[in-house]
Chains A and B, each alone.
Chain A
Amino acid sequence: MGENFTDRELVKRVQNGDKSAFDLLVLKYQHKIIKLVSRFVREPSDALDVTQDSFIKAYRALPNFRGDSAFYTWLYRIASNTAKNFLVSQRRRLGDVGIDSEEMMSREEEFGLNDVATPDNILAKDEVQHTVFETIENLPDDLRTALTLREFDGLSYEEIAEVMECPVGTVRSRIFRARETVSEKLRALSGE
């Protein structure tokens, strides 16, 4: 059980020919991978291209994925290698060949902002982050506790049921209602 179960099931489906299951993996991991790639690649549009490349490589390599490591660990490696290769090829294009890619980066890059940041972006991120935190803070206690035990402590539904002294079905619906409340707020934010 647990999150591993979800990834294993989705991977199995993709490996058996269900392409739409891959969309779910993309939706699940795209933000984490964009964040990772942005640490290497500064230009926002490049970062998105590299993220897209990483997912495509992952899709093509998926027949070889045996599941002895977690899917995310595997995807993460693909993305960091893709980002690294992108940097190397970019340097080559700029004629800057002599640089060992392991000895990295210009001083400005290291001391600058590590995510791809523009004032608008920062605002957008803060807004979402803020909305999520604020909404959860204002949730009824039982919803908030159930969700935080799941998200922060990584407890299974059964363990949460034990802690909160309620049936597993109640945990299931509390976590769902908590998420649904926050996602409604997020939709209001983006005007969907």
Chain B
Amino acid sequence: MLRVCSLSLLLLCYTAVSAQPMDALAWLQKIGDAQKGLNYHGTFVYAHDDQLESMMVVHSSSAEGERERLVHLNGVAREIIRNNDLVTSIFPEEKVVLVAHRNNLATSPFIQPESLKVFEKYYSLSLGGEERIAGIVTQRIDFKPKDVYRYGYRFWVSPEGLLLRSDLLDGDGKAIERIMFTDIHLVDQIPHELISPNIDLTDYKWYRQAPPVTLDDAGKSRWHITALPDGFSLKSRNLREEGASQVEHLLISDGLASISIFIEKGDSSTAARVGEFRVGALNGFGRLLGDYVVVVVGDVPLATVTLIAESVAEND
């Protein structure tokens, strides 16, 4: 019922939007398109807490789809290669390659532009000034959350729609996490060697993860969420087998922040997953629910993951 309410709000928003903040929204739409359609490579820094990591990213888009490569430039050169929905992670210390399928999410291209407008209800959008990032003049966009359930964002966007800098902000407007490009090259075509791993993988062990089962019907789940903060909605529901047990994974998003809920039967290791935790900008909270453990994690304040974890209930 709660979902229905938030949906009708969404539909109301379609008509209630004023013209003024459309500029920021138009930018946001542009980011989404650019993220998929452009060929580029560059280096960015990723900062959180006292850590500063440098990474290289390559993105190519062609008739065969999207291909993306992320390489850690400090310390051990771990990398992740995404080939459409196939994600390959390479761990040189362990000499291990992990291959996993990510189901394409059923994101609607028809609702998406409108759902961008939903942001207005939960974030104050404003356009900042022009600033130079990695030698390119960018437009700054600010998202200030209107409630206690989400963080703020500040984006710096290139004229093509590339997100060249992105800050995640706490309630005081202080950056918790930052991604910033130090150089970026837009190209017509990505050379093959740039998007393939340059590690010799011959003596690596390969592991392949079985693809998850998409539960596209809410009725198939034995769980429901009683109190989802407004603006967040269920994006996907998957079932994965982990050794001898099954894990249900629900993904929730308001378009900017993503929250995962994992539910599985408890075992001897359960205690380690109960309570609060934090990894970089991700907050998490685990609790017991009957014989099951519910773990909620996302780039949102602790209050949000706690609330959601507390509100998972078993269907009758």
A: residues with CB less than 8 A from B are 1-5, 36, 39, 70, 72-73, 76, 80, 102-105, 107, 110-111, 113-114, 117, 122, 133, 136-137, 144-145, 148-149, 151-155, 159, 162-164
Contacts and interface: CB of A to CB of B under 8 A. Distances in A.
A103 B205 contact: yes
Given A80-B210, A104-B99, A110 B109 contact: no
A33 B218 CA distance: 20
B239 A73 contact: yes
Contacts, number: 95
Contacts of B211: 36, 39, 80
A113 B101 contact: no
Interface stretch (B79-87, B127-135, B297-305): B79-87
B63 A163 contact: no
B113 to A, nearest CB: 11
Contact of A149 (B7, B97, B208): B7
B86 A162 contact: no
B220 interface: yes
Interface in B84-120: 84-86, 88, 97, 99, 101, 106-111
Interface residues on B, range: 35 or more
Contact of B85 (A70, A72, A114): A114
B4 interface: yes
A32 B21 CA distance: 41
A163 B101 contact: no
Given A152-B108, A155-B7, A163-B8, A4 B217 contact: yes
Contact of A162 (B8, B201, B206, B220): B8
8 contacts: A3-B219, A80-B210, A102-B207, A111-B88, A114-B85, A151-B108, A153-B3, A162-B8
